[in-house]
């Protein structure tokens, strides 16, 4: 399979974030990129092309993209910043003003403390987005392609980031396929709800979004991921959430994927974006589903059986011995 990556993914290497109220080691480090890159040895590996900002602003608001590009350069606005900018105040519903100062804008544009801005954040997230654009293009040319997007993207909304995510690589790929004339479906199998992708397409009927994830009443992203969320306005009926109880293994997860593929078939999708989180693994340090390496291989084969042009976009999946094996297994199944 054609695999696209960006060497800039070695950037944006955060050390810590707040989880359950305590400062913990940050799982979304650049070491993930090195591990995943090694796992695709044997495939055709291509460096991402610089597509500029047009495919990014096709799904993200220009002011948010401008903020991401310029925030680190404004760090002198805050005294004592040496290695990273982190949001510490956040607007609530009804607080709609966009402040001009940097600290206020950090909370306006970034939804939690996990999503810091560092000197090499923009190059890393832009490289990730460009790899997703390439994967969409290769999916149409060659049938399928994998983009090693790191940092990941599916928790990023059109106007703000959160949950380790800044630019929504899957949404960027979906829009790229849409602009090429495809009827697009996004199938998100990360253990976490693909809330950003849902948010970007929630009012649209030209991209079907399907997310299969661990039930969110006590799990990130908490405030979305429920099966009652089906779209709004023209998008009503074009968002599907399939939430699984924690601790389930391969069979219910694969059955949910099969159910999602049936919906995509009924929709008449002509191109597929797969948000490939590997954090549904039984060994993932922050995952709560119990999917085996064999389960990932079967998922790859099941999704490929839809026989649609397919852009596979890397989402979550954190460092454990199984991580590279799970990626290799999924791609092997999809091939």
Bridge-based pairing of strands 207-214 and 239-244 is: parallel
For residue 197, the minimal CB distance to Zn ion (Å) is 12
- CA distances for 43 relative to 179, 182, 277, angstroms: 28, 26, 19
Choices 140-148, 262-270, 279-287, 306-314 (CB under 5 A): range interacting with Zn ion: 279-287
Rule CB under 5 A: choose which of 277, 295, 300, 324 binds Zn ion: 277
300-319 binders of Zn ion (CB under 5 A): 316
How many other CB atoms are there within 10 angstroms of residue 11's CB atom?
21
For residue 151, the minimal CB distance to Zn ion (Å) is 12
DSSP string, 82-135: SS-B-------TT-----SSHHHHHHHHB-STT--B-TTHHHHHHHHHHHHHHH
For residue 146, the minimal CB distance to Zn ion (Å) is 17
DSSP state of 159: S
Choices 29-37, 104-112, 205-213, 269-277 (CB under 5 A): range interacting with Zn ion: 269-277
In this structure, are residues 309 and 285 in contact, taking their beta carbons and an 8 Å threshold?
Answer: no
For residue 316, the minimal CB distance to Zn ion (Å) is 3
- Residue in 88, 179, 173 with CA at minimum distance from that of residue 138: 173
Residue 213 annotated among the catalytic residues of the structure: no
Choices 55-63, 230-238, 268-276, 278-286 (CB under 5 A): range interacting with Zn ion: 278-286
- C-beta closer to Zn ion: residue 129 or 308: 129
Count the residues of the shown chain that bind Zn ion, applying the rule CB under 5 A: 5
| CA separation for the pair 118, 166 (Å, rounded) | 12
Q: Which of 51, 60, 155, 283 is catalytic?
A: 155
For residue 190, the minimal CB distance to Zn ion (Å) is 4
SS3 21: coil
- C-beta closer to Zn ion: residue 177 or 280: 280
Q: Would you give the distance in Å from CA 170 to the centre of its chain?
A: 6
Rule CB under 5 A: choose which of 137, 188, 215, 279 binds Zn ion: 279
Element (H, E) at 213: strand 207-214
173-232 binders of Zn ion (CB under 5 A): 190, 192
229-258 binders of Zn ion (CB under 5 A): none
DSSP E strand boundaries for 20-101: 22-25, 44-47
Choices 27-35, 255-263, 275-283, 327-335 (CB under 5 A): range interacting with Zn ion: 275-283
Question: Is residue 15 classed exposed, middle or buried when 0-12, 13-18 and 19+ CB atoms within 10 A define those classes?
Answer: exposed
| CA separation for the pair 320, 185 (Å, rounded) | 30
How many other CB atoms are there within 10 angstroms of residue 68's CB atom?
22
- Residue in 101, 76, 306, 68 with CA at minimum distance from that of residue 184: 306
Binding mask 53-92 for Zn ion (x = CB under 5 A): ----------------------------------------
For residue 243, the minimal CB distance to Zn ion (Å) is 14
Residue numbers annotated as active site = 155
Q: Which residues bind Zn ion (CB under 5 A)?
A: 190, 192, 277, 279, 316
């Amino acid at each position: 399979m054609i695999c696209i990556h960006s060497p800039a993914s070695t950037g944006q290497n955060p050390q810590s974030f707040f989880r359950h109220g305590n400062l913990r080691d940050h799982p979304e480090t650049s070491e993930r990129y090195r591990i995943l890159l090694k796992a695709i040895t044997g495939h055709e590996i291509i460096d991402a092309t610089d597509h500029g900002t047009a495919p990014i602003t096709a799904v993200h608001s220009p002011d948010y993209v401008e903020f991401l590009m310029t925030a680190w350069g404004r760090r002198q606005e805050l005294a004592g910043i040496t290695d990273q900018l982190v949001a510490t105040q956040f607007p609530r519903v009804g607080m709609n003003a966009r402040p001009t100062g940097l600290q206020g804008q950090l909370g306006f544009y970034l939804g939690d403390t996990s999503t810091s801005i560092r000197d090499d954040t923009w190059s890393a997230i832009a490289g990730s987005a460009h790899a997703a654009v390439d994967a969409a293009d290769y999916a149409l040319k060659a049938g399928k392609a994998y983009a090693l997007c790191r940092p990941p993207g599916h928790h990023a909304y059109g106007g703000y980031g959160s949950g380790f995510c800044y630019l929504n690589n899957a949404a960027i790929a979906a829009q790229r396929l849409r602009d090429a004339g495809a009827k697009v479906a996004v199938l998100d199998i990360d253990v976490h709800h693909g809330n950003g992708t849902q948010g970007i397409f929630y009012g649209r009927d030209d991209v079907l979004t399907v997310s299969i994830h661990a039930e969110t009443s006590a799990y990130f992203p908490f405030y979305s991921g429920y099966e009652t969320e089906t779209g709004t306005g023209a998008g009503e009926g074009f968002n599907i959430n399939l939430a699984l109880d924690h601790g389930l293994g391969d069979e219910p997860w694969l059955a949910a994927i099969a159910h999602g593929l049936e919906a995509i078939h009924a929709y008449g999708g002509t191109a597929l974006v797969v948000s490939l989180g590997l954090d549904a693994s039984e060994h993932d340090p922050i995952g709560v589903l119990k999917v085996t390496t064999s389960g990932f291989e079967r998922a790859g084969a099941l999704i490929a059986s839809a026989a649609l042009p397919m852009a596979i976009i890397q989402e979550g999946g954190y460092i454990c011995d199984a991580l590279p094996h799970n990626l290799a297994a999924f791609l092997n199944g999809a091939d």
